[in-house]
């Protein structure tokens, strides 16, 4: 690693801090010794300028709109790869050989069922439960089903086993959560179905009505899952790393990531986009009115699916997903007025100085909900779909953190205290 020094002058003293240079030329000032040297900490609200790790998983250039997994452009992976192959790439760092891929796929099939006892856990939830609440707790509950494995410190073989089991079981848990919410019997995974069609079958078939799986739907869902598979140090992935840095097990760490993803400023935005488009539709379909509301600083309304912490140009995933949404709706013959409203919003956002000056562009969630909706996936399952897609990335980051030379360092940010100075306690009857 190429290292140069950065100079910091504080209270008249000059300190040298090392510079870390990444493989794409990204530069960072290593401030880990700053407090010891100077008694100063850095202040970075929302971590907008802080690297918490060295990572070899995903490269993202938000200015140029570039996203690559392990060096491979997501455009190529979305077009040519499968979700399982991309998952292998993210977790293990290399594309698999055909033997490795077939072995990996077989493991998904072998481990697709969840323990029968876990089925009872679903009954504890009211039918109104949000599937993200069920998903987060079920994934954490999986830690209870591996008594023979030291989950805090798994061997390589044990990690391989729990990682693939989690990736396979999450879609079964997700589909069961949905079936529970609509009061239908659970549909078990099938040995002869691949990852995406197996999930669709568990979601939509019933004992009296088999589900016809269209190739176009499989393709659209596969593309969405690949595009969601990783996004470097976003809120949920950072959560997985932070929780895992305390040596919490993989299931507990991923469960925490699922909770973070649920928020509407993160993965929950896909649900919020459809809520917004439906509201605009109900209100007569006037996109301009809502664009103006979003620009009005006296109004807290924001255009959901627009803007991103790191993309300051068009989100490269949104480009692919937009085309995918148009193709799927055309093929399925679905005429969705929400797509029309989305197109109008996007056109205005792309030419309005409020958005262009702030580098606000449609993000990955802007069109994904329209695809999910066309497939028949209910709105409260959208973020669950995101979680299934993001799982390989979370696992890859947890693995990378655990395997970091010297072991993980517990995440523990500093703060600048701005509360009361010391004051004496006064008993309640004297206040
Ligand atoms: N609509 C209107 N104005 C917006 C929007 C929006 N969607 N997003 C940002 N802005 C404005 C802000 O008001 C602010 O304006 P100001 O400079 O005049 O105060 C400026 O753009 C910068 O916004 P911040 O909130 O400071 O940017 P930040 O990087 O913190 O937030 C975020 C990024 C949370 C994604 C934000 O753009 C947003 O809320 N978008 C809508 C929710 C969304 O789509 N989230 C999904 C993100 S993708 C993902 O997580 C999968």
| Higher pLDDT, residue 118 or 425 | 425
> Is pLDDT at 230 greater than 60 in this prediction?
yes
List residues with catalytic annotation: 308, 365
Structure tokens at 174: 């997700």
Q: What's the pLDDT tens digit per position in 313-341?
A: 888 999 899 899 888 988 888 888 988 89
Fold of 5-51: Rubrerythrin, domain 2 (2.20.28)
Q: Where in the chain is the domain with CATH 2.20.28?
A: 5-51
For tokens 């589900």, the residue is: 211
Region 402-416: what's the mean pLDDT? 93
The whole-angstrom separation of Cα 175 and Cα 47 is: 35
Give the closest residue (by CA) to ligand 1 atom 10: 307
Q: Which of 276, 307, 312, 314 to mutate to test the pocket of ligand 1 (most atoms within 8 A of CB)?
A: 307
Q: Where in the chain is the domain with CATH 1.10.580.10?
A: 73-406
The whole-angstrom separation of Cα 382 and Cα 248 is: 27
Beta-sheet strand order (sheet of 5-10): 5-10, 13-21, 27-29
φ, ψ for residue 66, nearest 5 deg: -110, 135
CATH hierarchy code of domain 73-406: 1.10.580.10
The whole-angstrom separation of Cα 227 and Cα 318 is: 9
Q: Is 364 in the pocket of ligand 1 (CB under 6 A)?
A: yes
Distance 8 CA to ligand 1 centre (A): 32
For tokens 């897609």, the residue is: 389
> If 0-12 CB within 10 Å is exposed, 13-18 middle and 19+ buried, where does residue 14 land?
exposed
The DSSP call for residue 60 is E
Host H or E run for residue 261:
helix 250-262
Give the closest residue (by CA) to ligand 1 atom 45: 265
Distance 393 CA to ligand 1 centre (A): 24
* For the CA of 306, the nearest atom of ligand 1: 7
Region 402-412: what's the mean pLDDT? 92
Q: What's the pLDDT tens digit per position in 55-89?
A: 999 999 999 999 999 999 999 999 999 999 999 99
Alpha helix (H) residue ranges in 183-213: 195-204
Residue 124 contacts residue 375 (beta carbons within 8 Å): no
For tokens 């009296």, the residue is: 208
Residue 3 is predicted with a pLDDT of 54
Residue 5's SS3 state is strand
Give the closest residue (by CA) to ligand 1 atom 26: 309
Region 109-129: what's the mean pLDDT? 89
The whole-angstrom separation of Cα 170 and Cα 139 is: 7
Q: What's the pLDDT tens digit per position in 16-36?
A: 999 999 999 999 999 999 999
> Is pLDDT at 2 greater than 70 in this prediction?
no
Q: Is 307 in the pocket of ligand 1 (CB under 6 A)?
A: yes
Mean of the per-residue pLDDT values of the chain: 93
Q: Is 305 in the pocket of ligand 1 (CB under 6 A)?
A: yes
Structure tokens at 198: 């197996």
Structure tokens at 48: 């907008």
> Is pLDDT at 236 greater than 60 in this prediction?
yes
Q: What's the pLDDT tens digit per position in 247-292?
A: 999 999 999 999 999 998 899 888 889 999 999 999 999 999 999 9
Q: How many CB atoms lie within 10 A of CB 284?
A: 7
The pTM score is 0.92
The whole-angstrom separation of Cα 276 and Cα 301 is: 10
Structure tokens at 69: 């997994």
Distance 279 CA to ligand 1 centre (A): 20
Structure tokens at 126: 């009211």
């Amino acid at each position: 690693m190429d290292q140069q020094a950065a100079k910091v002058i504080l209270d008249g003293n000059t300190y040298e801090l090392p510079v870390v240079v990444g493989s794409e030329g990204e530069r960072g000032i290593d401030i880990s010794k700053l407090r010891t040297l100077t008694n100063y900490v850095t202040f970075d609200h929302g971590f907008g300028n802080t690297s918490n790790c060295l990572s070899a998983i995903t490269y993202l250039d938000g200015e140029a709109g570039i996203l690559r997994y392990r060096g491979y452009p997501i455009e190529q992976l979305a077009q040519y790869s499968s979700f399982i192959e991309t998952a292998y790439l993210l977790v293990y760092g290399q594309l698999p050989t055909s033997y490795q891929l077939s072995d990996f796929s077989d493991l998904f099939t072998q481990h697709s069922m969840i323990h029968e006892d876990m089925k009872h856990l679903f009954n504890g939830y009211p039918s109104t439960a949000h599937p993200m609440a069920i998903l987060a707790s079920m994934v954490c509950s999986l830690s209870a089903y591996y008594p023979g494995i030291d989950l805090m410190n798994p061997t390589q073989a044990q990690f391989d086993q729990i990682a693939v089991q989690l990736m396979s079981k999450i879609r079964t848990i997700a589909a069961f959560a949905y079936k529970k919410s609509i009061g239908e019997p659970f549909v078990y995974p099938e040995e002869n179905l691949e990852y995406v069609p197996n999930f669709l079958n568990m979601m939509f078939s019933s004992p009296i009505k088999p589900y016809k799986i269209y190739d176009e739907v499989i393709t659209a869902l596969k593309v969405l899952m690949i595009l969601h598979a990783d996004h470097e140090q976003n809120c949920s992935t950072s959560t997985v790393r932070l929780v895992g840095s305390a040596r919490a097990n993989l299931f507990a760490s991923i469960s925490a990531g699922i909770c973070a993803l649920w928020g509407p400023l993160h993965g929950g935005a896909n649900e919020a986009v459809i809520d917004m488009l439906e509201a605009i539709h109900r209100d007569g379909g006037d996109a301009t009115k809502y664009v103006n509301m979003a620009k009005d600083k006296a109004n807290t309304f924001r255009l959901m699916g627009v803007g991103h912490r790191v993309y300051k140009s068009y989100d490269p995933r949104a480009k692919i997903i937009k085309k995918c949404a148009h193709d799927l709706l055309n093929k399925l013959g679905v005429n969705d007025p929400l797509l029309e409203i989305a197109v109008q919003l996007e056109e205005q956002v792309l030419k309005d100085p409020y958005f262009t000056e702030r580098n606000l562009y449609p993000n990955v969630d802007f069109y994904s909900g329209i695809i999910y909706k066309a497939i028949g996936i209910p709105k409260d399952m959208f973020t669950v779909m995101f979680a299934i897609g993001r799982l390989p990335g979370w696992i890859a980051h947890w693995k990378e953190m655990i395997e970091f030379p010297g072991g993980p360092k517990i995440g523990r940010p500093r703060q600048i205290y701005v509360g009361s100075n010391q004051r004496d306690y006064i008993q309640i009857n004297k206040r």
